[in-house]
């Protein structure tokens, strides 16, 4: 099993704060890096899928970067809102012929206080 | 929008029972997956399937089997439920390509007593 590590495990911020978390993964045989948001009582929802070194993706106040050579990705949230409270999961995809099999990190639990 | 539907939201079973968890997706996705989520351990892959009647073991297949007789349906079977299989089970589907996002169901929280 290839380990995917996320840090921190949990984060408590005030509304309006900007925050970021890290996903570290083995860089060998890399194919794709996924980010998901998992709100309580809902299903995980895909935020980004990135494949290229140096990739940057943005969705509203959330953005992500990817460094495949050193094996890490950052997720940034600008001006956190209470509705951003969720667990953020990253997952690494291996070589293409594994048909989309992903290895997930443990997640970062974000709590945004009004 | 892709819809992935899991048959039960909550399930309570007794030790030794045979348990079926059903998952149906409506977007003609090739890949389907079963994960379990336990506190502090992240999502762990139990089994996946990339085509009808095809299945591959994930990282923790022991005590489980799967069935994929039709493209849209992927069933997880606990042959003889045990208390250490108490967990949240998530089904997901995706297109075959490794850079396609997963679409998840709402999960089934299984308690084995």
Cα–Cα distance, B113 to B111 (Å, whole number): 6
Beta bridge pairs of residue A30:
none
Higher pLDDT residue, B93 or A96? B93
How many percent of chain B have pLDDT more than 90?
A: 77
Mean per-residue pLDDT, A74-96: 91
Is the predicted pLDDT of residue B105 greater than 80, yes or no?
Answer: yes
> Looking at beta carbons, which residues of chain B come within 8 Å of A109?
none
Among A42, A89, A95, the residue with its CB nearest the CB of B43 is: A89
pLDDT tens-digit series, residues B32-86 = 999 999 988 889 999 999 889 889 998 899 999 999 999 999 999 999 999 999 9
How many percent of chain A have pLDDT more than 70?
A: 92
Q: How many angstroms separate the CA of residue B31 from the nearest CA in chain A? A: 7
Chain A: which residues have CB within 8 Å of chain B? 1, 4, 31-32, 34, 36, 42-46, 49, 51, 89, 91, 93-96, 98-107
> Looking at beta carbons, which residues of chain A come within 8 Å of B2?
none
Is the predicted pLDDT of residue A99 greater than 60, yes or no?
Answer: no
Query: Residue A17's pLDDT is what?
Result: 96
CB B35 within 8 A of CB B90: yes
β-pair type (A19-24, A32-38): unpaired
* Residue A96 pLDDT grade (very low, low, confident, very high; cuts 50, 70, 90): low
CB A9 within 8 A of CB A109: yes
Query: Residue A28's pLDDT is what?
Result: 80
Mean per-residue pLDDT, A96-110: 79
The secondary structure element, H or E, covering residue A35 is strand A32-38
Beta bridge pairs of residue A79:
none
Residues 25-44 of B with CB under 8 A from A: 30-31, 33, 35, 40-44
Tokens of A2: 């290839």
Work out the mean pLDDT of chain A and round it to a whole number: 91
Residues 46-85 of B with CB under 8 A from A: 48, 50, 56, 58-59
Query: Residue B90's pLDDT is what?
Result: 97
Contact at CB, A1 and B41, closer than 8 angstroms: no
């Amino acid at each position: 099993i290839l380990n995917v590590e996320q840090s921190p495990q949990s984060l408590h911020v005030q509304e309006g704060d900007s925050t970021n978390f890290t996903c570290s993964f083995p860089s060998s045989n890399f194919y794709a890096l996924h980010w998901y948001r998992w709100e309580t009582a809902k299903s995980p929802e895909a935020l980004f899928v990135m494949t290229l070194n140096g990739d940057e993706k943005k969705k509203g106040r959330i953005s992500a970067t990817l460094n495949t050579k050193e094996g890490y990705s950052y997720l940034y949230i600008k001006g956190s809102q209470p509705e951003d409270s969720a667990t953020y999961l990253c997952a690494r995809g291996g070589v293409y012929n594994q048909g989309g099999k992903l290895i997930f990190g443990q997640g970062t639990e974000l709590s945004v206080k009004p | 929008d892709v819809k992935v539907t899991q048959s039960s939201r909550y399930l309570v079973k007794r030790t030794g029972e045979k348990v079926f968890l059903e998952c149906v997706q409506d977007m003609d996705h090739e890949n389907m997956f079963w994960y379990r989520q336990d506190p502090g351990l992240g999502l762990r892959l139990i089994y996946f399937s990339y085509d009808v009647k095809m299945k591959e073991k994930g990282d923790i297949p022991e005590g489980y089997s799967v069935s994929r007789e039709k493209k849209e349906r992927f069933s997880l079977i606990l042959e003889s439920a045990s208390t250490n299989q108490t967990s949240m089970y998530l089904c997901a589907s995706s297109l075959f390509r490794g850079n396609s996002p997963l679409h998840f169901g709402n999960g089934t929280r299984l308690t084995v007593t």
